[in-house]
Amino acid sequence: MTTTAKICPSGDERVKLFGLLLETNARLSRNLGVTLEASCALPLAWFEVLLLLRQSPEGHLKMNQIADAIVHTTGGTTRLIDRLEEAGFVSRRQCPSDRRAIHVGISTLGDEKLDQALNVHLDYLEENLAARLSEGERLTLTDLLTKLMATKTS
């Protein structure tokens, strides 16, 4: 560790790297959100939930699974699902094996909206990711981020 890092921890390369990860994520997410809103009137949080539901092997998720995946509180997730349901993009069903649990599934209208948004998303990814990084760089970045995600947070 350098003397500067000992005196001023903000100069530590780990602090800089983490800041860069946060800033990159925030910028890409914000710009994608603006693009999705402008192109297909779909908020980014709605897009994330619809994509999660479509990718679910069972075709539905429990509310707590959605909250964990999108890193929202359960109350915030409930309000988000309320809005998605009011728009006709998702439906709720009672879990047959646990009366306390609610399953959320994507509706036909939600599938159609997600298809529209995925076309916008793919164009965004091409312009802001694929065109700026080589295939090898993308693979390396994927491997590194996957490794970081596997790290315990506790």
Domain-located, residue 21: no
pLDDT at site 137: 97
Domain-located, residue 116: yes
Domain-located, residue 148: no
What is the domain extent for residue 80?
42-133
Question: Concatenated DSSP letters for the chain?
Answer: --HHHHH-GGGSHHHHHHHHHHHHHHHHHHHHHHHHHHHHS--HHHHHHHHHHHH-TTSEEEHHHHHHHHT--HHHHHHHHHHHHHTTSEEEEE-SS-TT-EEEEE-HHHHHHHHHHHHHHHHHHIIIIITTS-HHHHHHHHHHHHHHHTS---
Residue 6: is its pLDDT beyond 80?
A: no
Tens of pLDDT, residue by residue over 39-94, are: 999 999 999 999 999 999 988 999 888 988 887 777 889 999 999 999 999 999 98
Domain-located, residue 28: no
Structural domain count, the chain: 1
**pLDDT grade for 7, boundaries at 50, 70 and 90:** low
Domain-located, residue 46: yes
Tens of pLDDT, residue by residue over 115-141, are: 999 999 999 999 999 999 999 999 999
Domain-located, residue 61: yes
Q: What is the CATH number of the domain that holds 48?
A: 1.10.10.10
